Amino acid sequence: MSASGDRRVIVLVDGSGESAAALVRGASQARQRNALLDVIRIVPADADTRAMISARVWLGEFTRRQCPYGTGARVRFRVERGDREALLPLLGEGAELLLTGQPEPARAVPLPARAVPLPAARHHPWWLPPLHMTRAHG
């Protein structure tokens, strides 16, 4: 919890589909936790006052579009200037949950181990053989 004792769920939004989904999930989590929903937009460090005001107005419109019946939680809109990577640790300090709402860069991810060993899986009705185990067409 933050120093003031308020519980907070923070959502960083940029207008993408991922940030829209993060906002809906963040609203749900804030409602369940009885927490303040902090909706934040990060603008470049050299943004002027007009850009800051426009970003704040955009936050309200974006939130109303994604949560047309309200969020069900207290909401605070914030616009921050600077680099996203530098601000993330500062913004997340004291929050119960931080949702970035931005896609992660592509990288190699190890595949998870199979929950059911392959031979045993063949006895389940939902099992489909991997492509390399099927007969070649032609």
* pLDDT tens-digit readout, 60-114: 999 999 988 888 999 999 999 999 888 888 888 888 888 887 665 544 445 455 4
The pLDDT score that the predictor gives to residue 4 is 47
Name all domains of the chain by residue range, CATH numbers in brackets.
8-102 (3.40.50.620)
The pLDDT score that the predictor gives to residue 109 is 46
> What is the pTM (predicted TM-score) of this model?
0.69
Cα-based distances in Å from 2 to 8, 87, 98: 8, 17, 13
What's the CA gap between 100 and 102, in Å, rounded? 5
Inter-residue contact 22 to 50 (CB < 8 Å): no
Greatest mean pLDDT among 49-63, 107-121, 123-137 lies in 49-63
Query: What's the whole-number average pLDDT of the chain?
Result: 78
At residue 126, φ and ψ (nearest 5 deg) are -90, -5
What's the CA gap between 136 and 138, in Å, rounded? 7
* pLDDT at residue 46 greater than cutoff 60: yes
The pLDDT score that the predictor gives to residue 102 is 65
Which of 41, 37, 36 has its CA nearest to residue 15?
A: 41
* pLDDT at residue 43 greater than cutoff 90: yes
The Cβ-side half-sphere exposure at 97, using a 13 Å CA radius, reads: 20
